[in-house]
Amino acid sequence: MIPTALTDEHRQIREAARQFAEREVLPHVRDWDRAEEMDRAIVGKLAQAGYLGATIAERYDGSELDTVGYAQVIEELGRADNSVRGVVSVSAGLVAKTLGRWGSEPQRETWLPRLAAGETLGCFALTEPDSGSDPGSLRTTATPTAGGGWRIDGSKVFITNGTWAGLALVFARTGEPGPRGLSCFAVPTDRPGWTARPIKGKFGLRAQDTAEVALEALEVGEDELVGALGDGFKIAMSALDGGRISLAASCTGTAQACLDASVAYAAERQQFGRSIARFQLVQELIANIAVDVAAARLLTWQAAAKADLGQRCTLEASTAKYFASEAAVRAANAAVQVFGGYGYVDEYPVGKYLRDARVTTLYEGTSQIQTLIIGRHLTGESAFA
């Protein structure tokens, strides 16, 4: 089940993604982080490389990678900059992949080629100010209209690509309280009633477009319902399984970047007349990072391989996301320690790794939520009951 080595095709995908990231992303990371905004030209470059179409079938002009191959792309982008990685993992992963699975044929034909080409980006409008770990309690409502469509009212927060996106998957309540009353809609964001405001001053992922969204009498047609009425919670949870594999891959990339930076710096930095790489406790810090990288990578590949077999991978995705996100924080914290005072200055990369890694233990299910999911699968008992 667990691939311990990549196929030739997957190695080629990984190497191409690494070269792309080193050429198009790494030279700009510090400036984008300081400016709290990346150059939007990166969207076209990501599309040209095939990364925005990585989860989209070829018949809709996508590059159609399998999950293991997609994880290689995400790991390399995460190794370079998690803000850029977020553009891909949300638009291609959460949005395009969801439409590919749950959308109607007209929805696929309308949106998937545009998403693959980078003509538009997608955002996943699920989280609300009072509904994060408990999406079943969301308050945004979709009320039937006389014309047979729906009117959506509510608010969303922490929406990646929120001000850049041309398409939003909006989750709203169409029925009874709780998860069974939720539905999903494919909504063009240029429609009256959609207002997005960028969130600035973030601790990490500073260059990533993150938004608050207001939905005020936003009208959608019956043909914009994704899946069946009441399928919203099921759609969201299925999307998050894939999203957690993607996030685990990204965190593995961040941890790998911490390892690379720590090894290189320890070899160069001199103290007490020799490089700090010769100090046992520095080697311990580096060894711990290396073990976490290897374990996170294998857990990610295990979840991705199971997804490629068409099997349910909720347990494996949660396990990989939980371990890899916590491992990325440990790796970044250790890397700052290796760098000493210089780790606290953004002239060097490791402080940013720590800031970016920290949020990965919070979104797409906190570490605590992942442990509850894992515990439920192992015991058969729900801690929420």
Helices 67-80 and 232-268: angle between axes, nearest 10 degrees: 50
Domain 8-121 belongs to what architecture? Answer: Orthogonal Bundle (1.10)
In this predicted structure, what is the pLDDT of residue 293? 98
Q: How many CB atoms lie within 10 A of CB 189?
A: 23
Residue 148's Cα: distance from chain center in Å? 35
Nearest partner of 329 among 284, 361, 366, judged by Cα: 361
CATH 3.60.70.12 matches 123-230? no
**Structure token pair of residue 143:** 């009320």
Residues 132/138/139/144 CA torsion (nearest 10 deg): 140
pTM: 0.95
List, in order, residues 6 or more apart from 83 with CB less than 8 Å away: 32, 33, 38, 205, 206, 207, 208, 356
In this predicted structure, what is the pLDDT of residue 290? 98
Catalytic residue among 24, 64, 316, 364: 364
In this predicted structure, what is the pLDDT of residue 154? 97
In this predicted structure, what is the pLDDT of residue 315? 96
Q: 123 with 160: CB under 8 angstroms?
A: yes
Which class for 221: exposed (0-12), middle (13-18), buried (19 or more C-beta within 10 A)?
Answer: middle
In this predicted structure, what is the pLDDT of residue 73? 98
Along the 385 residues of the chain, how does pLDDT read in single tens digits? 566 678 999 999 999 999 999 999 999 999 999 999 999 999 999 999 999 999 999 999 999 999 999 999 999 999 999 999 999 999 999 999 999 999 999 999 999 999 999 999 999 999 999 887 888 889 999 999 988 899 999 999 999 999 999 999 999 999 988 889 999 999 999 999 999 999 999 999 999 999 999 999 999 999 999 999 999 999 999 999 999 999 999 999 999 999 999 999 999 999 999 999 999 999 999 999 999 999 999 999 999 999 999 999 999 999 999 999 999 999 999 999 999 999 999 999 999 999 999 999 999 899 999 999 999 999 998 886 5
End-to-end CA distance of the chain: 33
List, in order, residues 6 or more apart from 82 with CB less than 8 Å away: 204, 205, 208, 250, 254, 356, 357, 360
Q: Where are the domains of the chain?
A: 8-121, 123-230, 234-379
In this predicted structure, what is the pLDDT of residue 2? 63
Nearest partner of 314 among 380, 215, 243, 266, judged by Cα: 243
Q: pLDDT tens digits for 76-127?
A: 999 999 999 999 999 999 999 999 999 999 999 999 999 999 999 999 999 9
Helices 314-339 and 350-359: angle between axes, nearest 10 degrees: 150
Question: Measuring CA to CA, how many Å separate 20 from each of 79, 87, 115, 301, 319?
Answer: 12, 15, 20, 22, 29
In this predicted structure, what is the pLDDT of residue 1? 54
Residue 188's Cα: distance from chain center in Å? 21
CATH 3.60.150.10 matches 234-379? no
In this predicted structure, what is the pLDDT of residue 5? 74
Q: How many CB atoms lie within 10 A of CB 323?
A: 21
Is 364 one of the catalytic residues?
A: yes
In this predicted structure, what is the pLDDT of residue 133? 80
